[in-house]
Amino acid sequence: MFSKTSLSEKSPFLPPGYGTEKPEEAEPVVQPQGPISRELEFRGIVQIDGVYQFSLYNKKDQKGYWLKANEREDGISVSNYEADSSTIVVLMNGRSERLTLMTANEKPMPVAQTTPQAQTTRNLPPELNVKKSSNNSSSRKVVPRRRVILPKKK
């Protein structure tokens, strides 16, 4: 009357593969420079009460992050900080890559200059290049005031 298999093995309410051990995920291969370094910048490190936090900047989204080791935010996590080489391993979208801390550049940024815009004149035949006059009262010609110098009285 009783079966040797347990109810949990034949339960229609449990998802397929329930109770079986999952194989451990293999750690992804760390690339030195790749697509993550084109999207993320490793900008800074701070240690507060013995806990390191890392500043990352996403150039694509124009958003900055302060992440602790093994903390995950927006699909980005940081691990394996090496103090001697100032590098971290960043895991993003299933890929991992080693990023190096950016160094400061002492050169000033170039000043943006605007270029003078050339006046574009249309070359029209002389008979078509006639200026139109308008009869609007708001566009009246303003006559400049004149000074009158009177002779001195004796």
Domains in the chain: boundaries: 28-100
* Whether the model pTM is above 0.85: no
Is residue 86 exposed (0-12), middle (13-18) or buried (19+ Cβ within 10 Å)? middle
What was the pLDDT predicted at 53?
92
Pairing of the two strands 30-31 and 95-100:
parallel
Assess contact for 78 and 54: CB atoms under 8 A: yes
What was the pLDDT predicted at 16?
76
Average model confidence (pLDDT) for the chain?
Answer: 78
What was the pLDDT predicted at 57?
92
The architecture CATH gives domain 28-100: Roll (2.30)
Structural tokens at position 89: 């391993």
Per-residue pLDDT of the chain (154 residues; tens, 9 = 90+): 555 566 667 777 887 777 777 666 555 555 566 778 888 888 999 999 989 999 999 888 889 989 998 888 888 899 888 888 889 999 888 888 888 888 877 788 788 887 776 666 667 666 666 565 555 556 678 888 888 888 888 7
Rounded Cα–Cα distance for residues 86 and 42 (Å): 10
Assess contact for 97 and 37: CB atoms under 8 A: yes
